Amino acid sequence: MDNMARLSSSQCTKVFLQRDFTEGTGVRFQNKFPQELEGKIDRAILERTINTVNSIYLEAESLSGRTYCESCFACMTAYIAYLCMDTHYEKCLKKVARYIEEQNKTVFVQQGLMLVDPAERGLRVFEICILTEQQNR
């Protein structure tokens, strides 16, 4: 209708990748390539990105020796330590945010797509905005 090349993300079409619960309740997003993105992005690229994000979440949720020590230490201090330190999980979420931002910059925005950090959506969905399409549902 008009020649706006890029719409603001409030009006663009959005594609949602839902959570994948097959492995349990840990944070994990479906790796199925959505039809709406056909021809807009290389399957492999998207898949790789989602796999990376999933693996960071997996690392965050795994009961590693590090988290174990962290929790025990916090417990010893009656959880007062949490007031002044970032947990491993928080660090991982920041890592995801950084990774997504970087991927947006280097790959996705050039293709007219934008990923939204799932943490901003309460880890419910992985949102992908198609910046070049008006919402027309």
Partner 1 sequence: MMARQTGIFYLTCTLIIVTSGLFFGFDCVYLAQHVTPAIPAIGGALFIFVMATLFRTSFSDPGVIPRASLDEAAELERQMEVPNAGSPGTYRPPPRTKEVVIKGQVVKLKYCFTCKLFRPPRASHCSLCDNCVDRFDHHCPWVGNCVGKRNYRYFYLFILSLSVHCIYIFACVLTNLILRAQQDNFLTAMKESPASVIEAIVCFFSVWSIVGLAGFHSYLVASELTTNEDIKGSFTARRGADSFNPYSKGSIFKNCSQVLCGPVPPSLLDRRGYVVPDSSQAHHVSGPETQKERESNSVNVRHEYYGSTTVTNQKTGNMGTNTAPDLPPPAVVTTADEMLPAGENVKKREMISYQTPDGTINNKLPPLNGTSSPPTCGGRKNHIWDMTLNQLNYMGRSNNHAAIHGTNPGSVYPQPYRHSDYLSGTSVLPAVKGNKSTMSRGCSTDF
Site of interaction with partner 1 (CB under 8 A): 1-2, 8-11, 14, 16, 19, 21-25, 27, 60-63, 67-68, 71-72, 75, 78-80, 87-90, 93, 116, 119-125, 127, 135-137
- One-letter amino acid at 49 equals T
Contact assessment for residue 49 and residue 14, using Cβ atoms and an 8 Å cutoff: no
Q: Taking the complex as a whole, how short is the minimal distance between the CB of residue 119 and partner 1, in angstroms? A: 5
Q: Taking the complex as a whole, how short is the minimal distance between the CB of residue 53 and partner 1, in angstroms? A: 15
∠ CA(84), CA(66), CA(51), 5° rounding? 105
Residue 48 or 91 having the CB closest to partner 1? 91
Residue 41 or 126 having the CB closest to partner 1? 126
Helix axes 65-76, 88-103, angle to 10 degrees: 130
Instruction: List residues bridging with 13 in a β-sheet.
Output: 130
Residue 23 or 38 having the CB closest to partner 1? 23
Q: Taking the complex as a whole, how short is the minimal distance between the CB of residue 39 and partner 1, in angstroms? A: 20
Residue 11 or 55 having the CB closest to partner 1? 11
- Measured in degrees and rounded to the nearest 5, phi and psi for residue 114 equal -145, 130
Per DSSP, the residues of 64-108 read -HHHHHHHHHHHHTTT-GGGG---HHHHHHHHHHHHHHHHIIIII
Q: Taking the complex as a whole, how short is the minimal distance between the CB of residue 43 and partner 1, in angstroms? A: 21
